[in-house]
Amino acid sequence: MGTIDTSQFRKGLKIEMESVPWEIVDFQHVKPGKGTAFVTTRIKNLIRGNTIDKTFRSGDVVGEADCEEVQCDYLYSDGSNWHFMNKESYEQFEIAADSVGEARYFLIDNSSCSVLMHNNKPIQIYPPNFVVMRLTDCDPAVQGNTATGATKVVTTETGYKVAVPLFITITDKLKIDTRDGRFIERAGK
């Protein structure tokens, strides 16, 4: 594990404080007219998910987190655990269902994803930026009164609820942006 000076801070950098990995979400170097310079940061705890604001003095040194992003296949869920396979080593591992978080809505059996490992333990799952999913619940398509961008809520095969235009039917597949959960387009039938 290396060390990082505050002058090397950037968004997305993973640091370690008190044996906990953090990701820098935002930062700003501040040089006041009087006194020493400092760096204000907003950092996210990669294990718990909470975000805090922390100030470092200019020149402070922090540890670099031993984090690695690994390409994996999501295999299946047995209810209490989610099972994954590392694409390079073919090693299989599981993550407790309560640790999967919002990613559970965007993982389909045998789909690809990235898993963030800290000290060889999985701590966070990143689904692909876009996924195509089938619908399990959808009100019938409605004709007329669509002068404005009217929408309805549908349910995908993973249980995710998303607002879509009124013309979407139960036989359609949807392309969804996993970063913000928005409907992008119809991806076929």
Concatenated DSSP letters for 26-45? EEEEE--SSS--EEEEEEEE
Token reading at 116:
């963030």
| Nearest-angstrom CA–CA distance, 83 and 96 | 9
- Low pLDDT (below 70) residues in the chain: 1, 141-148
Q: Where are the alpha helices (DSSP H) in 9-156?
A: 97-100
What pLDDT, on a 0 to 100 scale, did the predictor assign at position 175?
93
Give all strands (DSSP E) within 19-110, no chain letters. Answer: 20-30, 38-45, 51-57, 61-64, 67-77, 81-86, 92-96
The pLDDT score that the predictor gives to residue 102 is 86
N- to C-terminal Cα distance for the chain?
49
- The yes-or-no answer to whether 3-64 and 67-126 have a common fold is no
φ/ψ region of 116 (left if φ > 0, alpha if ψ in -120 to 50, else beta) reads beta
Q: Hey, where are the domains in the chain? A: 3-64, 67-126, 130-186
The pLDDT of residue 144 is 63
Task: Find out if CATH 1.20.1420.30 is the number for domain 3-64.
Answer: no
The model's pLDDT over 123-143, given as tens digits with 9 standing for 90+, comes to 889 999 999 999 988 887 666
Residue 156: the pLDDT is 92
Superfamily for domain range 130-186: Nucleic acid-binding proteins (2.40.50.140)
At the fourth CATH level, the homologous superfamily of domain 67-126 is Nucleic acid-binding proteins (2.40.50.140)
Are the beta carbons of 93 and 122 closer than 8 angstroms?
yes
pLDDT at 49: 82
Model pLDDT, residue 165: 86
